[in-house]
Structure formats: C-alpha cells, structure tokens
Amino acid sequence: MSALGTGAGGQSPVRRQIAAGFAAPPPGAGDAAQLRRLLAYEELAIAVGGLALTSGMLLPATAELVRSLQRQETAHARALSALPGVTPPAPLQGRAEVQVALSAIGIKLALEPPLDERHWMTLLAELETRLEGVYYHALGLLGESGPASLAASILASEAQHSVALALWRYPGDIGLTVGSALVQGAPPPRA
Amino acid sequence: MLAGATAGLAAVVLGGCGGVGRATHRIRLAAATAGDGVLLNQALAVEQRAIAAYTAAGPLLPGIQQQAARLFLSQELQHAGELRKLVKLTGAKAHDPEPRYDLGQPHGAAQLLELLHEVERQQLAAYLTVLPRVSSPELRRALAAIMANDAQHVSVLRALQGSSALAGPFPSAAQ
C-alpha cells in the first residue's frame, strides 16, 4: 500500500497531514497560523500549475498563461514565507498528494484520467475561487495590519487571475469575467 | 472637455446603496473610530470620481468596451453604496460626490479606455493607502473585497487595450 493508502483505521498519516495544512486554524490561533494556511493554498496552486504544464495537453499560448500565473503564485508564496512564524508546508509530492489536497479544500475533480486543456483551465479557475475565499476569510481574522495588507494585495492578484482565466474560458463575455462587485470567493472548509 | 456632471449623480449613488449588492458585508463596528470614517470617505471620494468617469465615458465607447464600462459602472455604484454604509456605521457623514469632475479631453476609444484605466489605478492606490490604516479586520476585509474587484477592472481594461490581463503579482497603481 502507498503512503497515501487508507488502512483499516481510516486516513493515512500523510493524508491527515496534508488535510491539516488546509484546515481552519483554531479560534485565537494568531496571524501566523492564518498565514500558514494561505501559504498551503499557494503551494497547492503552484503544484496544480506544474501538473498542468507537464501534462502535455496545453497549447503554447495556454501554457504561457499558466506559467504567468505560476510565477505570481510563487511570488505570493515567497512573500508569505518571509513573514515571521510562517513555516512552509512539506511540498506536495506528485499527482496523488495534489488530489488529496484538492479534496481537502472541497474540489472533487479527479485528476485521473489525465485532463484535457479545458479541464485544466476549469480546475485552475476553481482553485482561484478557493484562493479568493481563503484570503477573504483570513482578512477578517488577521490582527496585524502588515500581514493583512499583504493578504489584501494577494486577494486582488488572485481576483485578477480569475479574470485572466475567465477571458480564456469565456472570450468576449465580460459578465462572466467580472461577476461580482465584491470579491469574496468560495468559503473555505471549516475543519 | 469630458466632464462628469454629477449634480444628479448623488441620487444614483444613493440608489446603489439599496438592493443592487448581491453580496454585502455584515460588519460589527463597535470599535470603529472617527479616523475610520475619514479614511472610508477618502475611498468613497475616489469611487465617486470613477462613477463620474464611467458615466461620462461609457456611452462613447463601442461594442464590448461599452458593455464592460456599463458593468463596471454598476459595480462602482455598489462599491460606493457599500462605503456609504460603512461610513454611516462609523458615525461619520458620507462624502457627497463633487458637482463636477474634470476628466481631461480624451478623444476616441483608446484615450477613453486610458482615462478609465487611470481612474482604476487611482482607486487601487487609494485602497492600498487606506486599508492598512483602518482600525479593524472587518473593515480591512470589506475594503479588500472592493479593491480586488477594482483590480479585476484593471485587468479587463488592460486586455481591452491589447496588453496582458496580468501585470505584477501585487496589484498597484503602476498596473
């Protein structure tokens, strides 16, 4: 059985560890715990982008867009990692661990069989909505203005990612590109 | 000169306070300070200038550009409505729109889009200034939700101008 396999006793330790990185910190956990959760989401976005880019399914122009998104997610992750007390999570290893992480944040799309280009872009768009949601949620809890300002700036960047992906998915439909006057994303799982 | 004549716009803005916002913030502002009201009014003033710009420029744009301007105007009105509500919650008086805005002399779609782009950049700059200075996480979150939508407007305007929708990883007034 792989390290990810589920034994008779329930979830494997690796599964539990991955899921824990995306869970809501307990009340009063402090800014660092909120920021670590945001970093876990960024690392997941980077990992999914990497899988998309190595899938061989993206046309060159699409791949360039995904590379641009990845560069920005990497910049977000670096900025979060630079804040005091924010330790990066263990890197996600391969498709199976990414699948566990996606499930932990409520995305049920199976990565097997290999996705085609449109499915990858749909997955990335769904992921951006989750990123918006977790940043919006964290902003209501971050006590210090410095980390909150960074989180607000990254929320705005994730919202721009959603636009870029929507322009790819729905060319010419502005209403679907910028759907809401208040960017709040999808609420993150509670536990 | 393209001028945003807003003598009658205050009523439009107030209308935006009512039912148009699908998502609204439920905020307890027991700890809000008088300084919060001043800061929120700064953001509101910039939103009101954006409303004037979209009101004046939108009808002059063609096709999908006009469609975008119309949508963004409705969203700016919602932002103004949200901000007015927040200002009132702090106990301050909400800033009224100026009677007139000097928006320069843009000619043609390209210059009109650049005007709107510049107005959105000014909004990003205002939110990036105000957001760290308000007193509560709830207010920061409310402002961030609005700023993120304005950042989306910037992305679409960039795309309509033939640039990449994505600029830097941290939206700023330079985008």
Here the ipTM equals 0.93
Nearest C-alpha neighbor of A34 from the set A144, A153, A130: A144
Identify all chain A residues contacting B170, using CB atoms and an 8 Å cutoff: 75, 79, 153-154, 157
B155, closest residue in chain A (CA to CA) = A160
Is the CB of A175 inside 8 Å of chain B's CB atoms? yes
Cα A72–chain centre separation: 12
User: CB B49: neighbour CB atoms within 10 A?
Assistant: 22
Task: Detail the DSSP E strand segments found in chain B.
Answer: 3-5, 100-102
When pLDDT is cut at 50, 70 and 90, the band that residue B24 belongs to is: low
A153, closest residue in chain B (CA to CA) = B170
| Chain pair A-B, CB pairs under 8 angstroms | 143
Contact A36, A89 (CB under 8 A): yes
Residues 144-163 of B with CB under 8 A from A: 144-156, 159
Give the span between the Cα atoms of B72 and B149, in whole angstroms. 9
The angle, 0 to 180 degrees and rounded to 10, between the axes of the packed helices A94-104 and A31-54 is 130
When pLDDT is averaged across residues B47-61 and rounded to a whole number, the result is 98
Identify all chain A residues contacting B145, using CB atoms and an 8 Å cutoff: 136, 155, 182-184
User: What confidence tens digit (pLDDT) does each residue in A72-125 have?
Assistant: 999 999 999 999 999 999 889 899 999 999 999 999 988 887 899 999 999 999
Pick among A150, A157, A169, A173 to test the B interface (most B CBs inside 10 A): A157
Least confident segment among A108-112, A115-119, B79-83, B104-108: A108-112
> Is pTM, for the whole model, over 0.95?
no
